[in-house]
Amino acid sequence: MAVIEVEKLCKRYGDFDALKDVSLAIEKGEFFGLLGPNGAGKTTLVRILTGQLALTAGRARTMGISPDEPVALKMKVGIVPEAESPPTFLTAIEFLQLVCRIRRLDGMDDRVARWMDFFQLDEKKDVLCRDLSKGQRQKVMLAAAFISEPELLILDEPFINLDPIFQKRLREYLQGVVKEGRTVFMCSHILEMVEKLCTRLAVINQGRIVAQGTLDEIRSRQGERLEDVFMRLVEAG
């Protein structure tokens, strides 16, 4: 069953084509990586898939739901945006409680306690989010995405600002998510992480998907490193 289906998707800003004929199908239980240089269209695609942005042409479905139904779509997906932006005047606990209420989750206290503990945010539990460090704010955003244990996680640069300890912890958690049969869609510039985690990936350049498949499928020769694959595909575009 495809949890993300995209057919001939286009997104245009005036005369500029941010996305051109993008087609993707991501199956349940995959760990899918989307790679691309800066400005290639990764975040635009993520924003469309999560109902934050309207598409210009083509078709997209996330968990079977159109981006034109953003509330219903977001209810089924855990999303981490490109930039951390937790609420200015709420504490981390209050924000996670708010997310539980919005998503109508039961067992709120246990869920909040689990994720505060997971990201070691307890010591900062009564600090306003605006006064947290960048890494701590990123942890709050990750916790808000994970707290509902959704079937699909869409993560835009989830490892950014995290220290190596939490990068490892997050990596192990995401691997566990996929083992449970859930799906992860991740954009990242950390090629080493993508190579370790992703079962399948796509490379986007100038708004077009220039390659997709398993790492072996997009390699031009045996043993080619992902960095070399990436450079070859992007420079060819």
Strands, sheet with 2-13, edge to edge from the N-terminal-most edge strand:
16-27, 2-13, 57-62
Least distance CB 68 / other proteins (angstroms): 7
Strand 208-213: give its sheet, edge to edge: 77-80, 152-156, 183-187, 31-35, 200-205, 208-213
Q: Which one among 39, 85, 120, 231 touches other proteins, defined by CB under 8 A?
A: 85
Q: Does 182 bind other proteins (CB under 8 A)?
A: no
User: Which element (helix H / strand E) includes 17?
Assistant: strand 16-27
The β-bridge partners of 194 are none
3-state SS, 84-121, equals CCCCCCCEHHHHHHHHHHHCCCCCHHHHHHHHHHHCCC
Instruction: Give 204: exposed, middle or buried? Use CB within 10 Å, 0-12, 13-18, 19+.
Output: buried
Radius of gyration in angstroms for the set of CA atoms belonging to the chain, rounded to a whole number: 18
| 128 near other proteins (CB under 8 A) | yes
Q: Mark the segment that binds other proteins (CB under 8 A) among 10-18, 31-39, 73-81, 225-233.
A: 73-81
Q: Residue 19 or residue 203: which is nearer to other proteins going by CB?
A: 19
Q: Contact, 125 vs 93, CB < 8 A?
A: yes
Of 131, 172, 192, 227, the one binding other proteins by CB under 8 A: 131
Q: Which of 53, 153, 184, 210 binds other proteins (CB under 8 A)?
A: 53
CB atoms within 10 A of CB 196: 12
User: Which member of 2, 25, 90, 215 binds other proteins (CB under 8 A)?
Assistant: 90
* Cβ-based nearer residue to other proteins, 128 or 190: 128
Task: With contacts defined by CB under 8 A, name the span among 3-11, 128-136, 158-166, 204-212 that binds other proteins.
Answer: 128-136
Q: How far is the CB of 57 from other proteins (least distance, A)?
A: 17
When the beta carbons of 156 and 234 are compared against other proteins, the nearer one is 156
Minimal distance, residue 29 CB to other proteins, in Å: 23
Query: C-beta of 80: minimal distance to other proteins in Å?
Result: 7
Given candidates 144, 193, 201, 229, which one binds other proteins under the rule CB under 8 A?
Answer: 144
Q: 8-38: string of b/e by CB count within 10 Å (b at 16+)?
A: ebebeeeeebbbbebebebeebbbbbbbbbe
Q: Report the interface residues with other proteins, using CB under 8 A.
A: 50, 52-54, 68, 70-75, 79-81, 83, 85-91, 93-95, 97-99, 101-103, 125-128, 130-131, 141, 144-145
